[in-house]
Protein backbone atom coordinates (compact mmCIF):
# COMPACT_ATOMS: atom_id res chain seq x y z
CA UNK A 1 0.00 0.00 0.00
CA UNK A 2 2.89 2.38 0.75
CA UNK A 3 4.02 2.06 -2.87
CA UNK A 4 1.38 4.56 -3.98
CA UNK A 5 2.76 7.28 -1.70
CA UNK A 6 5.38 9.83 -2.55
CA UNK A 7 8.38 9.81 -0.20
CA UNK A 8 11.62 11.74 -0.12
CA UNK A 9 13.80 9.46 1.98
CA UNK A 10 16.54 11.02 4.06
CA UNK A 11 19.44 8.62 3.51
CA UNK A 12 21.63 10.36 6.06
CA UNK A 13 19.42 10.58 9.12
CA UNK A 14 16.82 8.29 10.63
CA UNK A 15 14.18 10.48 12.27
CA UNK A 16 12.99 7.65 14.53
CA UNK A 17 15.38 5.46 16.45
CA UNK A 18 14.45 2.46 18.55
CA UNK A 19 16.39 1.13 21.51
CA UNK A 20 17.17 -2.49 20.61
CA UNK A 21 17.69 -3.58 24.20
CA UNK A 22 14.46 -2.23 25.64
CA UNK A 23 12.49 -3.27 22.56
CA UNK A 24 13.80 -6.84 22.55
CA UNK A 25 12.76 -7.19 26.16
CA UNK A 26 9.32 -5.68 25.50
CA UNK A 27 6.74 -8.45 25.59
CA UNK A 28 3.68 -7.07 23.74
CA UNK A 29 5.50 -4.94 21.12
CA UNK A 30 2.29 -3.05 20.24
CA UNK A 31 4.21 -1.01 17.66
CA UNK A 32 4.34 -4.10 15.44
CA UNK A 33 0.53 -4.02 15.21
CA UNK A 34 -0.36 -0.37 15.59
CA UNK A 35 2.02 1.30 13.11
CA UNK A 36 -0.27 2.13 10.17
CA UNK A 37 2.62 1.59 7.77
CA UNK A 38 3.62 -1.64 9.50
CA UNK A 39 7.24 -0.57 9.73
CA UNK A 40 8.00 -2.44 12.96
CA UNK A 41 8.54 -6.16 12.66
CA UNK A 42 10.33 -8.94 14.46
CA UNK A 43 13.35 -10.41 12.69
CA UNK A 44 15.55 -12.99 14.41
CA UNK A 45 13.79 -12.22 17.69
CA UNK A 46 14.86 -8.60 17.45
CA UNK A 47 12.71 -5.61 16.71
CA UNK A 48 13.40 -4.38 13.24
CA UNK A 49 12.32 -0.91 12.13
CA UNK A 50 12.48 0.82 8.78
CA UNK A 51 11.89 4.56 8.87
CA UNK A 52 11.70 4.94 5.10
CA UNK A 53 7.92 4.44 4.69
CA UNK A 54 6.96 6.43 7.78
CA UNK A 55 3.66 8.33 7.55
CA UNK A 56 4.80 10.61 10.42
CA UNK A 57 1.65 10.07 12.47
CA UNK A 58 3.26 9.54 15.87
CA UNK A 59 1.35 6.38 16.78
CA UNK A 60 4.52 4.47 17.74
CA UNK A 61 5.56 7.23 20.07
CA UNK A 62 2.25 7.02 21.94
CA UNK A 63 1.49 3.31 21.79
CA UNK A 64 4.93 2.32 23.12
CA UNK A 65 4.73 0.89 26.67
CA UNK A 66 8.17 2.43 27.26
CA UNK A 67 7.16 5.79 25.83
CA UNK A 68 9.87 8.40 25.91
CA UNK A 69 12.63 5.86 26.53
CA UNK A 70 12.52 3.18 23.85
CA UNK A 71 11.71 5.38 20.88
CA UNK A 72 13.53 8.54 19.98
CA UNK A 73 10.96 10.30 17.85
CA UNK A 74 11.31 13.37 15.68
CA UNK A 75 9.87 14.54 12.43
CA UNK A 76 12.14 14.06 9.42
CA UNK A 77 14.40 16.98 8.53
CA UNK A 78 12.70 19.72 6.55
CA UNK A 79 11.95 18.64 3.01
CA UNK A 80 12.20 14.91 3.75
CA UNK A 81 9.69 12.20 4.50
CA UNK A 82 6.20 11.56 3.22
CA UNK A 83 4.75 14.05 0.76
CA UNK A 84 0.97 13.80 0.63
CA UNK A 85 -0.48 14.70 -2.75
CA UNK A 86 -4.09 14.39 -1.51
CA UNK A 87 -4.18 14.39 2.30
Measured distance CA(64)–CA(85) in Å, rounded:
29
Residue closer to another protein by CB (options 20, 77) is 77
Measured distance CA(56)–CA(69) in Å, rounded:
19
Residues that bind another protein (CB under 8 A): 1-2, 4-5, 8, 28, 30, 32-38, 55-59, 61-63, 65, 67-68, 74-79, 81-87
Q: Find out whether 15 and 55 touch, Cβ atoms under 8 Å.
A: no
CB of 33 to another protein, least distance (A): 5
CB of 21 to another protein, least distance (A): 21
Q: Which of 34, 7, 44 is nearest to 71 (CA)?
A: 34
CB of 14 to another protein, least distance (A): 14
Amino acid sequence: MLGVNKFVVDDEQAHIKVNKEICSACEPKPCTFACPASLFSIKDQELSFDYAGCLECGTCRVVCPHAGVAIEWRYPRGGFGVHYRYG
